[in-house]
Each structure stands twice: as C-alpha cells, then as structure tokens.
Amino acid sequence: ERRVELEWDAQPHLRIGWHVPPITHADAPALAVLSAILTGGRTSRLHRRLVTEERNAVSVYSSMGPGTLYPRLFQLDVTPRSPTLPADLEAIVYAEIERLATDGPTALEVARVQTQIAGFSRISGSRSSSPSPRPCTATGGRPSPPPSG
C-alpha cells in the first residue's frame, strides 16, 4: 500500500486506487461491472449510501485508466460533505466492497447493470458514422486493418 495525504486549503477528497489487469485480461469485463455496481448512477451502492442516504458525500465515482500504455488502475473518488472526513468515507467504501465480495450483487443490481450495458450498446451503436463499424483490437482500441480480399 502506498498512501499519500496532502494538506491543502481546499475541499477534501478521497481517491483510492488498485492495480488491475490489462484491458485484454479475462477479468476486465468483471471490473467494468464492479464499477457500475459501486458507482454507476444514483442507485449504485456507494452513491445511494454515501450521497443519498447518509448524506456524508457530495459525489462518488470510479474509473479505470490511464489506458493501455501504462499499468491500469481502478480508481474510486469520493468528495466528502462537511464535516465528514475522508478517513470516515474510506472505512465505508471498504465495508461496502467487503459486503459485495461476501454477499455478491443483488438481483436488482445485476438487472440495473444489464440495463445500463444494453442502453450503452444501443446509444454507441446509433452514433456510428460508418455503415458497418470496423472491429477494434482489445489493446489500445486501434482499428483492426480491413480484411484483405
């Protein structure tokens, strides 16, 4: 574990990062689902608990990056609502992750994520500027060469 605490005259913020496998790894889709369950919208676990119910944070989100050139991180960011401290939010985040690991996602969470994925697929498919999108490689998202022949 590497921990950094900065003293600054600004709004406190919590960022937790975990090393994750490359986007080509078989676990990459599961990490995307984890991200959606934890922070994918207002009904996600962490948003519902931290922002809506307990009202001790103003925002929570997660991301994976920085891309394919460097090792990837799964990052979770939480902005506390005063007077809540980042350490208090960190304890809740780890408790929710432990609960998810122990109990698994609920049927409602699975259905919500499936709906989000289906919606994203429809939206991204309708924004394609080419009549038939070219397949992309899993590394870097660079277009594959057109089929020869």
Helices 107-126 and 28-39, axial angle in degrees (round to 10) = 110
102 near 46, Cβ under 8 Å?
Answer: no
Query: In this predicted model, what pLDDT tens digit does every residue of 89-111 receive, in sequence order?
Result: 999 999 999 999 999 999 999 99
Task: Kindly report, residue by residue over 74-94, the tens digit of the pLDDT.
Answer: 999 999 999 999 999 999 999
The per-residue pLDDT for range 101-145, each reduced to its tens digit, is 999 999 999 999 989 888 876 776 654 444 444 443 333 444 444
The structure's pTM equals 0.75
